[in-house]
Structure 1
Amino acid sequence: MIPAQHDDAFELITALPPAYQAALQDMPRDTLIEIVMDLGRPPQARYPGEALNLLQTPVTHDDLNHVLALLGEFSADNRAGIERTLHRISAIRNRKQQVIGLTLRVGRAVEGTVDMIRDLVESGKSLLLVGRPGVGKTTKLREIARIMADELGKRVMVIDTSNEIAGDGDIPHPAIGSARRMQVPHPDRQHAVMIEAVENHMPEVIIVDEIGTAAETAAARTIAERGVQLVGTAHGNTLENLVANPTLSDLVGGVQTVTLSDEEARARGTQKTVSERKGSPTFDSVVEIIERDTLLVHHDTAKAVDTLLRGGKPGGERRQQSESGEIESSQERHALPTAPEAPFRRIKGTVHIHPYALSRDSVERVIRDLRLNARTVIQPEQADLVLALKARADDPRLRELAELHHKPVHLIRKNTTAQIRHTLQQVFLLMDEIDEDEVQDAVREAEAAIRQVHYLGKEIALAPRRPALRRVQHQMVARYQLHAESTGSEPRRHLVIYPD
């Protein structure tokens, strides 16, 4: 089925000044995305891939006031609407809170957008949609509400924070069918209304848009644990974005840093400090909306997240809808990392190194220059660790050393002395004697600081740590897509974590 639009753009256009309406007569209306009015600049009509000036004359205060007089009240998030329509009008204000700009976004009820994920909707499992702004997440939620209420006969409650799903005014837009709608008095109260919906109205399905705070994440988990099917959207383009976001990662199971024993790290072929999923995901399945007609479906959220945390590709089912309405499906490969990773491991005495497809002379030169307690060996079975080129990561013999013989493998991008020096410096820093309690303390401190940086949006300084522990903290910060720098002199050298 090809998506069909129910266009009520006329109501939005009639809210514009007469000159703007006249200019729009000669422009296409069915693909119009939004109209932008910024004080002192020509008004624009925006279409997919282009923006056209409506007039050459700049927007005036009178133009803005003309539109404002015909709108409802603006909510705390600077959004307003036109009653019984799906249009969204957002305001830009100056320091005196005067409106100096408007974005009038066309809202449309579109049927057929759920065809590609109808099986997931009917499964009864909780479903999370992610994707860039404007790709159609809210449009899909709107149709999901209608299908579940009218076609599947379920008790559906829509949590409508900005009245984007069911439109402005007290009467919901017909696009959500017989689904009920709860409005949210302030964006900060969305989580409370979510819980209120479950406790007071006994829904079978709750639909919520733009989960973005820790409180909303916790509310979503509470709803799912009560056996209510949850369908929602979250800030982020991909599943990987959610995993890296400490506020939202709980939606997909959460992430915790654990320290393995030497034996377990050796058996896994990983570092001693690793990331693991904390618990069961709130949402059973995740759909990445790549384009309006292209999706990537992760049917098993837990399995996909586990693969990501192990450094692999989560795969998924790619679905695409052709112009004729046919849906094509293909499976993307679920793959663990192709390159073996080096476990964190302490070695007493002389360290035996086997250069695999590397210059042995270069390795020995670096050992002498750095005055390391190490020497090279010809037979890999005699080695404590293996140095290899990254280009040889898929070599079957190398994988056998890592997986069957439990040899730590450290990969080097280029066969140069500089690269070998850098790698061996890092390896021997990690081999420094570290107490288990020190590692756990450093990990806990970094996790708490990362949450604070995300929540407060300001830099956080950590306690002074030894080089090997700072490296562990650096790795944690990088995993959450933040930036950290070491500052100060030993023994007071420490990390400072900065917001993104």
Structure 2
Amino acid sequence: MEEQTDDLAALLDLLPPDLRAAAAALDPEQVVEFVLDRGRPATARLDHGRAELASVPLEQADLDAVASRVGAFSADNRAGVEGTLHRIAAIRNRQGRIIGLTLRVGRAAHGIVDPIHDVVAAGESLLLLGRPGVGKTTLLRETARVLADECDRRVVIIDTAGEIAGDGDIPHPAIGSARRMPVADPRQQDRVMIEAVENHMPEVIIVDEIGTEAEARAARTIAERGVQLVATAHGHSLENLLRNPVLDDLVGGVQTVILGDDEARARGGQKTVQERRGPPAFTAVVEIVQRGELRLHPSTARSVDRLLAGRAPRCEMRTAAESGAGAPPPAEETGLPEGAESSAPEVGPRGRTRILSYGVSRDSVDRVIRTEGLPAETVPDPGRTDLVLALRSRAADPRLQRLVDTSAVPLVTVKKNSTAQIRRALADALNQVHGVDDETVSAVVREVEEAVNRVRQEGEVVPLSPAQGAVRRLQHRIVVRHGLVAESQGSGNQRHLVVLPSTPDAG
């Protein structure tokens, strides 16, 4: 359960008296930051929207008064409020005078790490990605506390401008017993990272905002020394990071390879391909989609290899509501573009029905899945689909008929490419996977639990008996609950799940 704490009063005390009352009247849980610009009214940015604190534009004297109450600004124009996690950032004119201030609310959120507690506690080096303001630093801070206090590890935080452990010489209690090494000049962050490893024997290094080639090299050096590294980096997603030549080495790097004629023919005729350059510095990656919703790549190497091959990476959606510390929540596989009449659809290897659009707008299908919360995703690969959604006018296409006949996947049609029809068709199709009788449930549970025990004892793949789609879905949920992985194999009446020891490594 996530619990947020802050000291908003300390931040409000920095504001001019005429703005303080208006700011204090806002819902404190919704306030993200206060924006003060010369010549404009002061505003508060909220989780949803913004609020004007006054109608009168701010004068230079107002900004100077706020700045005088703040500690010294570092080289990157950031400062803090001693004893808190709040951050103040300055905008200066060409003469160096402050003409704008952003007062960001800093919070300690206990429980926010629960969705990935199992990965953190297992000692995985973890890279956190996400858009600005989505909560990367908050998650990093709580991860440091959990590793130091609950996992009893020697944790050292590389704290540039007091971003993680707050301003002042005494770290904020939010980091628990973790130690903090301040970095006065952001240009020296890579040097302090290496110094921490060489001087203080940490088991874990925590770093916020890896953004330069030197910092990426330092991260690889730390990983090669066997130290667990948890960090954030500039990038919204793993795919986005791969396009950054400065930071792609964090996840293995990218190189162009020229293939021989035989290998090129085997790969479909391409003479040049992109491949991963080496092992990633971070074994796992977490994309923060929004607060409380995370997308975990449990094997960075495997996800990168699939992305470079033009395939969807295997990842798990984890949410705060579904998880408990130490136990992985239900997982799912995500996918990527496009192109009623059969039995219930199968589900993908991580519990979601994979849908191939045929003449139907993939964006519309994605929108319906998202707004209706359906256990499904769209995929581009006909060989990985569990359900085909097609326009009725295209149902007789020879290519579509071959796909349905050879893969034995259900075909669902809609008359028009409209959101309403797509919503009804998917709701009807996906509901067919429910409805397993009690006797079947008991037999399924016994078989799956016996298979799970064999996998754990022998470390080998164990197949389950062929079963209908609804039964396979139930089997899959039981396997995931035990922290293992299940994948579908076979076709037709021989379609069945196999239980795997863990997510397969890249290679």
Q: TM-score, normalization: structure 2?
A: 0.65
Structure 1: stretches of 5+ with no match in the other structure? 340-390, 401-500
**Alignment of structure 1 residues 219-238 onto 2, 5 Å:** 219-238=218-237
Partner of 1:332: 333
| 2:12–2:24 CA contact under 8 A, matched in 1 | no
Where 1:332 maps in the other structure, the secondary structure is coil
Residues 1:278 and 1:230: Cα distance change in structure 2 (over 3 Å): same
Residues 1:141 and 1:243: Cα distance change in structure 2 (over 3 Å): same
Residues 1:392 and 1:268: Cα distance change in structure 2 (over 3 Å): farther
Task: Give the Å deviation of 1:293.
Answer: 1.6
Task: Give the Cα–Cα distance (whole angstroms) in 2 for the partners of residues 246 and 392 of structure 1.
Answer: 43
| Cα RMSD for the two superposed structures | 2.4
Q: Which amino acid aligns with 1:96?
A: Q
Residues 1:393 and 1:7: Cα distance change in structure 2 (over 3 Å): farther
**Alignment of structure 1 residues 331-480 onto 2, 5 Å:** 331-333=332-334
| 1:34–1:47 CA contact under 8 A, matched in 2 | yes
- For residues 194-245 of structure 1, what are the alpha-carbon distances to aligned partners after superposition, in whole Å with 9 as ceiling and x for unaligned? 0000011110000001111111110000000000000001111111011111
Where 1:207 maps in the other structure, the secondary structure is strand
| 1:12–1:106 CA contact under 8 A, matched in 2 | yes
Please tell me whether residue 138 in structure 1 is matched to residue 131 in structure 2.
no
| 2:112–2:320 CA contact under 8 A, matched in 1 | no
Partner of 2:157: 158
- For residues 459-496 of structure 1, what are the alpha-carbon distances to aligned partners after superposition, in whole Å with 9 as ceiling and x for unaligned? xxxxxxxxxxxxxxxxxxxxxxxxxxxxxxxxxxxxxx
Task: Give the Cα–Cα distance (whole angstroms) in 1 for the partners of residues 203 and 269 of structure 2.
Answer: 43
Q: Considering only CA atoms, is the larger Rg found in Structure 1 or Structure 2?
A: 1
Where 2:330 maps in the other structure, the secondary structure is strand
Please tell me whether residue 244 in structure 1 is matched to residue 243 in structure 2.
yes
Partner of 1:110: 109
Partner of 1:415: none
Partner of 1:86: 85
| 1:287–1:295 CA contact under 8 A, matched in 2 | yes
Residues 1:250 and 1:324: Cα distance change in structure 2 (over 3 Å): closer
Task: Give the Cα–Cα distance (whole angstroms) in 2 for the partners of residues 394 and 213 of structure 1.
Answer: 48
Task: Give the Cα–Cα distance (whole angstroms) in 2 for the partners of residues 228 and 149 of structure 1.
Answer: 14
Partner of 1:263: 262
Where 2:145 maps in the other structure, the secondary structure is helix
Partner of 1:96: 95
Task: Give the Å deviation of 1:50.
Answer: 1.1
Q: Which amino acid aligns with 1:125?
A: E
Q: Which amino acid aligns with 1:132?
A: R
Task: Give the Cα–Cα distance (whole angstroms) in 2 for the partners of residues 66 and 55 of structure 1.
Answer: 17
| 1:316–1:334 CA contact under 8 A, matched in 2 | no
Deviates more, 1:61-70 or 1:20-29: 20-29
Partner of 1:302: 301
Task: Give the Cα–Cα distance (whole angstroms) in 1 for the partners of residues 399 and 33 of structure 2.
Answer: 50
Q: Which amino acid aligns with 1:124?
A: G
Residues 1:324 and 1:206: Cα distance change in structure 2 (over 3 Å): closer
Task: Give the Å deviation of 1:27.
Answer: 2.0
Residues 1:148 and 1:30: Cα distance change in structure 2 (over 3 Å): same
**Alignment of structure 1 residues 187-198 onto 2, 5 Å:** 187-198=186-197
Q: Which amino acid aligns with 1:142?
A: R
Partner of 2:57: 58
Identity %: 59
| 2:158–2:193 CA contact under 8 A, matched in 1 | yes
Where 2:331 maps in the other structure, the secondary structure is strand
Partner of 1:311: 310
Partner of 2:28: 29
Residues 1:305 and 1:394: Cα distance change in structure 2 (over 3 Å): farther
Task: Give the Å deviation of 1:295.
Answer: 1.1
Task: Give the Å deviation of 1:24.
Answer: 2.1
- For residues 92-131 of structure 1, what are the alpha-carbon distances to aligned partners after superposition, in whole Å with 9 as ceiling and x for unaligned? 1111111000000010111010000000100111011101
Q: Which amino acid aligns with 1:121?
A: V
| 1:146–1:177 CA contact under 8 A, matched in 2 | yes
Q: TM-score, normalization: structure 1?
A: 0.66
Task: Give the Cα–Cα distance (whole angstroms) in 2 for the partners of residues 155 and 245 of structure 1.
Answer: 32
Residues 1:282 and 1:396: Cα distance change in structure 2 (over 3 Å): farther
Task: Give the Å deviation of 1:322.
Answer: 3.2
Q: Which amino acid aligns with 1:55?
A: A
Task: Give the Å deviation of 1:26.
Answer: 2.3
Q: Which amino acid aligns with 1:213?
A: T
Task: Give the Cα–Cα distance (whole angstroms) in 2 for the partners of residues 211 and 259 of structure 1.
Answer: 31
Task: Give the Å deviation of 1:30.
Answer: 2.3
Residues 1:14 and 1:333: Cα distance change in structure 2 (over 3 Å): closer
Task: Give the Cα–Cα distance (whole angstroms) in 1 for the partners of residues 117 and 335 of structure 2.
Answer: 23
Task: Give the Cα–Cα distance (whole angstroms) in 2 for the partners of residues 393 and 291 of structure 1.
Answer: 39
| 2:32–2:46 CA contact under 8 A, matched in 1 | yes
